Each structure stands twice: as structure tokens, then as C-alpha cells.
Amino acid sequence: MTELVTLTIDGVSVSVPPDTTLLKAAQSVGVRIPTICYHEACTANALCRICVVEVEGARMLIPACTAKAAPGMQVHTHTPRVERSRRTILELLASAVDLSEAPEILALIEEYGADTHRYPNTVRRTPPPIDDNPMYLRDYAKCILCWRCVQVCAEDAQYTFAINFGGRGYETHIGTFYDKPMPETTCVFCGQCVGVCPTNALKPRRQWLLEQGQPAEAVIQASGGWRRRRS
Ligand code: SF4
Ligand code: FES
């Protein structure tokens, strides 16, 4: 029988199987840790750092979505240091990305009292939406680079590899190989990337047309006609 790992989370003793992440261990005793880049369907990569927690004896804050529970760990999920870190992450995100259609992140901004004007928007990404196929739009001004779309397009689900990170530093972005229009890539328009995007950077064309006030009939015809052309 597998020996359980016992640790404390916010003073509560918890025993979990080996290799359980701190996030899962916390959830098992009803402690909520915020996440942004993490998605149940994707491999955790600890990119956004909103889930950091304080572990006694550790110098750095630790991302709960990837760190594994260890025997005797004493974990604190809502200390002032942790909350300040989360607040800063949210403020930096707000300075760089259009979060207007990211309800979960907007809720966190509210919860942590983040000042969205604390940092100037000097690095704000403002590329125009890419409208190159009949199924979905890509508005990378809203992209937080969480990597979920790339992961589901690759080994986490679809094995299609149509999109990936490109560029470096401030120029980092999600795109297709050689920036080809989506219909010229390996994309099969499965919609998995759209489904996991937390900010509406990826949006179904039907939804977009409805938001533009198009009548439902025209919206249905718009993508149905394309499907007939592809077959
Ligand atoms: S397009 Fe959406 S899912 Fe992909 S990295 Fe950007 S925010 Fe994440
Ligand atoms: S949710 Fe853990 S680093 Fe993003």
C-alpha cells in the first residue's frame, strides 16, 4: 500500500499520495489557491505564478500548481507576502494585456485589490485581431501567454502542432509557423484552443458575429458555408 505524505496547509494536517501537487493537496481540504495558467486538461508549467504559496524554510515563494507535497511541509497560502506577490502579478498583467474579456482574472483583480493603473501601459501589446479563417478570431492584444492553447494543440490533446511561442522577451507571442494564415497550417479547427483560452483572445467566429449584432441566421450560414467548401 502506498505510503501517504503528511503536511500542513494553513495549519490543517493533510495526507496525500506521493507526487500530489500543493494545489491538489490544498483543494483536498477545501483551501482555494488562485490559478490562471493552470488548466485541468493541460500539463502545469508554472508560467503565471499567481498560485505561489509560502513554505516554511523555503527562501522563495513556490508555485502550488507544480510543487509536490513533501513530508512535514508547512504551507501557508494567504500570507501578506503571498498576497502582495499575487497583487503585483495582476497589476503587471493589467499593464501589458487587455483583460476586458477575462472574467476570472478580473475577479482576482477585485479580490486582491490590485491597482490596474499602478504600472504604465508602456509595454501593452496592441496587435490587431487576426481574422484569417472562418472558424475563430485571434486577438493577441488579449493574450496573457498562458500557453494553454499551445499545449492542447500539441501533446496535451490534439497532436496538431499548428501554433507555438514565437519571439523573445517583449516580442514573445503565440503564432503559427512562419506566421502562415491558419488555413495553411496543420490546424484542423477542432476548437480545443478556443475552449481553454481564459481571456477570449481566441473567440469563435459565431460568438464574435453575434457580439457585432449580426442576426443568428446569418451567423449560422457563415460557418456552415465554409464547412461545405472544405469537404
Ligand atoms: S491565446 Fe489564450 S490560451 Fe493561448 S496563450 Fe494566449 S491567453 Fe493563453
Ligand atoms: S497557476 Fe500556477 S503558475 Fe500559473
| Helix pair 103-111, 80-96: axis angle to 10 deg | 140
> Ligand 2 pocket: which of 49, 60, 146 to mutate (most atoms <8 Å of CB)?
49
Give the domain CATH number at 40: 3.10.20.740
Print the domain residue range for 43. 5-78
* Residue 117: inside a domain: no
Q: 47, 78, 109: which is the final residue of a domain?
A: 78
* Residue 111: inside a domain: no
Give the pLDDT confidence score for residue 222 in this predicted structure: 67
pLDDT surpassing 50 at residue 99: yes
CA of 15 to the centre of ligand 2 (A): 22
What are the pLDDT digits (tens) for 135-192? 999 999 999 999 999 999 999 999 999 999 998 888 899 999 999 999 999 999 999 9
The CA distance from 142 to 197, in Å, is: 10
* Residue 115: inside a domain: no
The CA distance from 180 to 182, in Å, is: 6
Q: What is the pTM of this model?
A: 0.90
Nearest ligand, measured from the Cα of 139: 1
* Residue 113: inside a domain: no
How many distinct structural domains can be found in the chain?
Answer: 2
Residues 149 and 218 in one domain: yes
CA of 4 to the centre of ligand 2 (A): 25
CA of 201 to the centre of ligand 1 (A): 6
Q: 59, 78, 97: which is the final residue of a domain?
A: 78
Residues 74 and 141 in one domain: no
Residues 216 and 147 in one domain: yes
> Cβ distance 60 to 68 under 8 Å?
no
- Our answer on whether the CB atom of 108 is closer than 6 Å to any ligand 1 atom is no
Burial 193-209 (b: 16+ CB within 10 A, else e): bbebbbbbbbbbbbebb
CA of 23 to the centre of ligand 2 (A): 9
Q: 34, 57, 78: which is the final residue of a domain?
A: 78
Give the domain CATH number at 157: 3.30.70.20
- Our answer on whether the CB atom of 36 is closer than 6 Å to any ligand 2 atom is yes
> Ligand 1 pocket: which of 37, 97, 164, 197 to mutate (most atoms <8 Å of CB)?
197
* Residue 93: inside a domain: no
**Residue 92 φ/ψ, nearest 5 degrees:** -70, -40
> Cβ distance 43 to 156 under 8 Å?
yes
Residues 62 and 141 in one domain: no
> Cβ distance 21 to 64 under 8 Å?
yes
- Our answer on whether the CB atom of 134 is closer than 6 Å to any ligand 2 atom is no
Q: List the one residue out of 98, 86, 97 whose CA is nearest residue 36.
A: 86
Q: Whose CA is nearest to atom 6 of ligand 1?
A: 143
Give the pLDDT confidence score for residue 223 in this predicted structure: 60
* Residue 200: inside a domain: yes
* Residue 109: inside a domain: no
Give the pLDDT confidence score for residue 213 in this predicted structure: 83
- Our answer on whether the CB atom of 53 is closer than 6 Å to any ligand 2 atom is no
